[in-house]
Structure 1
Amino acid sequence: MAFHPRNEAVRGSINSSDLERQREMAPAEPPSDVEMKALEASGPSGHSAQLSKTKSIAEQLPLAQEILFVGVVVTAQFTAQTGLNQMIPIIFIIGDSYGVTDTAQLSWLIAGFSLTVGSFILIAGRLGDLYGYKRMFIIGMAWFSLWSMIGGLAVYSNAVLFIFARVFQGMGPALTLPNGLALLGVSYAPGRRKDMVFAIFAAMAPVGSVVSAAFGALFALAWWPWAFWATAITLAAIAVVSSFVIPDPPKKYDAGRMSLRQRLIALDLGGAAVGITGLVLFNFAWNQAPIVGWNEAYVIVCLILGIIFLAGFFVIETKLAPEPLIPFEALNSDVAFVLGCTSLGWASFGVWIYYLYIFLLRIRGLPPLLVAAQLSPIPISGTCAAIITGYLMSRLRPAKIMAIAMFFFLTGSLLTGAMPVHQTYWAQTFVCMLVIVFGMDMSFPAATVILSNSVPKNHQGIAASLVTTVVNYSISLGLGFAGTVEAYTKTGRTPEEVQLNGYRHAMYVAYGLSGAGLVLSLLFVAKDHFKKPL
């Protein structure tokens, strides 16, 4: 027999076939009420009804419960955007309370949250596969609530505790986003209904962004910690409601009958540790460099180590892990194109959202509440974009939808970066907010549906993890790129001119990222066209 390192790594302990036998021998979970009704209605062909049920759990729920189910699950996207955006309009108020004024340092309060979300989603999806998507969703909401409360209480301490709270906050959405998407993925069969549900999920991003920004600005009129305490109370309530309205779909594993060794192998903790370490180090280097400079040795060391760890993660996942977090062999070139476009588009969005606020708050000198009011068209445009996307996804090939999304990302970035300081709101500011939302709400559902339909149901957690990892990690990394450019290219004769030039140069990064995304998406369209049968 030929030597294979993957086989050698698991010889003498347990391999993937052991896990498969264990799953087959494990008793099936008792059917739910929905399952019993489907089986009773089918009579002798109950097995067929069971198979039908597993393809479309949500569609067999009563309409009221299905609406509640979808409504609660999509709060994962809404609350994730709350964590990202609630503090952006009041970031200078928070910074002043801790004596931090440099924009590069303040960007860590945004990038740190997105970094944790993007990095820990890798393992969060597998935790859902093992212990249940519903359970991990509820735990994520509870964890998010706890660290939001601590973030508010940090006002009595210092900036270090607040930054730690922001970082640990991100672990909450890391659990809720992939497991929420997985719940939708396993509960709906491919089709228009599933497309529309994913579009609604995506629409919660712009809605959550604006609503959280508005309430953050409102609470700051009294005392900024209340923005975090109110979020904590809301998240706790969602966790409680989730336990009643979300159905519990079948798990990929029967964790209760697995040994500790089998659980460790199923979780791929070695791969997760290496992958998360690589992501954190690589991202840390890019977001720390604008503050201390690239001449600091530890920044370069972190960057190199990050690359080494990420390379090691790829080797582990493809050669050694019996149960890899990312089954690379199940991913095709279309998935690679989609993830690449999503990464570039959302990285440009991270730059856009942060520096738009900087422009409105610092360069135009608007108060936080007025800035939040100026962003009010976003949820309206986002809702329209979600409806249009849900309609188009059953009529256009995904490659074309992705290309349209990248076009809107680029157009929104160009309009924002070129805005004159003294210009009416109804010119470029208003228009850019209407436009860029279509990039968000077309790329995200397209990517999630493509991956959800490309992998089997027992890998839905992995599919959701990949999309949400790429989106959130790219936001953080894009901020690091833009911050580096801003820090090294600030020029001007006055402080105002220096700040404006730094803003313009940072927005050039958004141009490049979204432009590269558009080029890649057009290549994807060409590839998709020529592979179709004549």
Structure 2
Amino acid sequence: MTSSSETDLPEKPEADSPSHAPSQHLDVESNEQPKIQENVYPADALSTPRQILFVGTLCTAMFTNQVGLGNTLATVGVIGESFGITNPGQLSWLIAGYSLTIGTFILIGGRLGDEFGNKKIFVIGMAWYSLWSLVAGLSVYSSYVLFIFARVFQGMGPALTLPNGLAILGQTYSPGPRKNMSFAWFGGSAPFGAIAGFLFGGLFALAWWPWIYCSQAIALAGVAAFAAWTIPPLPVQPRQNRSIGEKIEDLDIPGGLTGVTALVLFNFAWNQAVVADWQHPYIYVCLILGAIFGVAFFCIEIHWAKSPILPLAAFNSDIAFVFVCTATGWACFGIWVFYIGQVAINIGGSTPLQIAAWFIPVIPSGLLSALAVGKLLGKIPASWIMVVGQVAYLAGSILAATRPPHSIYWTYYFFSVLIITVGMDTSFPAATIIFSNAVPQRYQGMGASIVMTVVNYSISLGLGFAGTIETNINNGGMMESEKFLGYHGALWFSVGLAGLGLVLSLIFVAKGHWKRSTA
């Protein structure tokens, strides 16, 4: 029998293993850690003020990612109106396109960091994000199409910064409380970013909405420069002393291309179907091609790739449960945050600034949840933390789905925001720490990118599913009652996703108890 502190934390292979990827299965029931050499973890030696600057800089990856989501969620109607767009499917692309790119390219971003240096890719990602934020603002002089392209390319910035920020934390802190708390702060910065996005998006939209993205571009450029100074030199791994040709060979380009193509085509089909309807043949063609490229990707990763971008041999059923629970929870969250705002603005008559104020409870709720996870991991099973997150997703989405559109804030809306944030900021740190402890030090980018891929791709794909439901039941959405019917259906779909995640997380807990009882 293992103690509760040993439950759900997988065994971490030794950092100096000569293999390209961990070959053993990731056992989330073990807590055994490798012996750490001195000076392998440089952040442990930093002074407290320097650690605060270091961790704070890396947390800007999650903060700015959520800013990019929140500033558009709050002003999607204003931006669409300036381009003459009112179709809900087209408006959802402003959100889904951004999350789609993040979820699609995070695996590539993590691998690029592993091969060419996590710090270097982190700084490049911030600079890239800044450039396309500027293009998004300047698109007011062009067309809606350029704005969508800018949003899509914006997403490549967080796709580089998120996995590499997490990878740097995993490389520079030794396993233990400080590492857990750094991951918790990383996750806890999400609600601050979301509120900042809502607030500044609403404020700038009152004057001229392009300032939302131009100001974002200026801030991101400053973060990129600051990160180059703040992040300390990272430990040199044995495989880093290779030629450019050897690094390119290890990038698994065939796997990356087929994987990205599969993810883009599959997600594009579901989100574009909301705009163009399923009657158009190209929607089905994209869906089928996405499935074919997906099969090709798995064949390459299993049978051909020398250094697979997704080392499937390292996964087991426990990791699959964590995958699915994370996916259902974050898909639920993406639908919830989009449609609860649409109901409040388009049915309830609220303004973007009011919505920003209404989301303020995510700051204390999210921060306390993330820090509590950092303290509790290692003391209680991570599987139970996942269950708590799924219960929060379910309760929060039920409150949103049952909320009368003209009810006062301090009833359904307030408690829905307060509760569902617990789900977001418990499931993410738990899953991230599980995967970080599951892979060697040099593969922290790969481990972090898997979690972030699941999170962001689930948000985008969930919005595609929900949009399909909305447009098929709202009878055209011309009248207020018809719009509300579509929003209502999408919110109930989020309830179903949360319920599925809760059932699977309970099965995961039961499976862990059964394994320990038979050990």
Please say whether Structure 1 and Structure 2 have the same fold, judged by a TM-score greater than 0.5: yes
Unaligned 5+ segments in structure 1 are 1-18, 23-47
Following TM superposition, the consecutive aligned residue runs of length 4 or more in structure 1 with deviations greater than 3 angstroms are 19-22, 251-257, 491-494
Q: Is the 8 A contact 1:137 1:175 kept in 2?
A: yes
* 1:88-237 equivalence runs, <5 A: 88-237=73-222
**SS of alignment partner, residue 420 of structure 1:** coil
Deviation at 1:204, TM superposition (A): 1.2
Distance (Å, rounded) in 2 between the aligned partners of 1:96 and 1:216: 15
Partner of 2:387: 403
Report the residue type matching 1:232 in the other structure.
A
- Say if 1:91 and 1:106, in contact at 8 Å, map to a contact too: yes
Alignment check: 8 A CA contact 1:195 1:394 kept = no
SS at match of 1:52: coil
Structure 2 CA distance, aligned partners of 1:281 and 1:455? 30
What is the aligned partner in structure 2 of residue 346 from structure 1?
Answer: 330
Classify the secondary structure of the residue corresponding to 2:39.
helix
Which residue, 294, 298, 302 being the options, matches 1:314? 298
TM-score, normalization: structure 2?
A: 0.91
The answer to whether residue 277 in structure 2 is matched with residue 293 in structure 1 is yes
Aligned partners of 1:399 and 1:271: how far apart in 2? 31
Q: Distance in 2 between matches of 1:257 and 1:497?
A: 63
Q: Judge conservation of contact 1:141–1:172 (CA < 8 Å) in 2.
A: yes
Separation of aligned partners in 2, 1:21 and 1:303: 36
Q: 1:49 and 1:195, CA in 2 relative to 1: closer, same or farther beyond 3 A?
A: closer
Q: Give the aligned CA root-mean-square deviation in angstroms.
A: 1.9
State the Cα distance separating 1:304 from its structure 2 match: 0.7
How far is the alpha carbon of 1:492 from its aligned partner?
9.2
Structure 1 SS opposite 2:67: helix
**Cα distance between partner residues in 1 of 2:260 and 2:88:** 27
CA–CA separation in structure 2 for the residues paired with 1:109 and 1:489: 22
The equivalent of 1:379 in structure 2 is 363
In 2, are the aligned partners of 1:492 and 1:501 still within 8 Å (CA)? no
In structure 2, distance between residues paired with 1:228 and 1:251? 37
Residues 234 and 253 of structure 1: CA distance in aligned 2, closer, same or farther (over 3 Å): farther
Structure 2 unmatched ranges of 5 or more: 1-16, 21-33
Task: State the Cα distance separating 1:52 from its structure 2 match.
Answer: 2.5
> Once structures 1 and 2 are overlaid, which stretch shifts more, 355-364 or 331-340?
331-340
Q: Does 1:447 align with 2:431?
A: yes
**For the residues of structure 1 that align with 2:117 and 2:427, how far apart are their CA atoms?**
27
Checking the alignment, whether the CA contact within 8 Å between 2:36 and 2:174 is kept in structure 1 is no
Structure 1 contact 133–248 (Cα < 8 Å) conserved:
no
Partner secondary structure for residue 437 of structure 2: helix
> What TM-score results when the alignment is normalised by the length of structure 1?
0.89
Partner of 2:37: 51
Partners of 1:268 and 1:246 in 2: how far apart? 28
Aligned-residue identity in percent? 50
Counterpart amino acid of residue 326 in structure 2: T
**What is aligned with 2:248?**
264
- Worse overlay, 483-492 or 221-230: 483-492
- Structure 1 residue 248, shift from structure 2 partner: 2.5
Note the alpha carbon deviations across 1:244-275, whole angstroms, 9 max, x for none.
11012135465564152x22221111100000
Whole-Å Cα distance in 2 between the matches of residues 419 and 373 of structure 1? 18
Aligned partners of 1:50, 1:411: CA distance in 2, in Å?
A: 42
CA displacement at 1:333 relative to structure 2: 2.2
Bigger relative CO (Cα 8 Å, ≥ 6 apart): 2
Is the 2:70–2:196 Cα contact (8 Å) retained in structure 1? Answer: no
After superposition, the Cα gap between the structure-2 partners of 1:509 and 1:49, relative to the gap in structure 1 and judged at 3 Å, is closer
Query: Against the structure 1 CA distance between its residues 394 and 259, is the aligned structure 2 distance closer, same or farther, given a 3 Å change threshold?
Result: closer
Aligned to 1:283: 267
Aligned 1:25-44 pairs, distance under 5 A = none
1:358: how far off? 0.3
Equivalent position amino acid for 1:515 in 2: G
Does the 8 Å contact 2:133/2:213 carry over to 1?
A: yes
| CA distance in structure 2 between the partners assigned to 1:493 and 1:435 by the alignment | 30
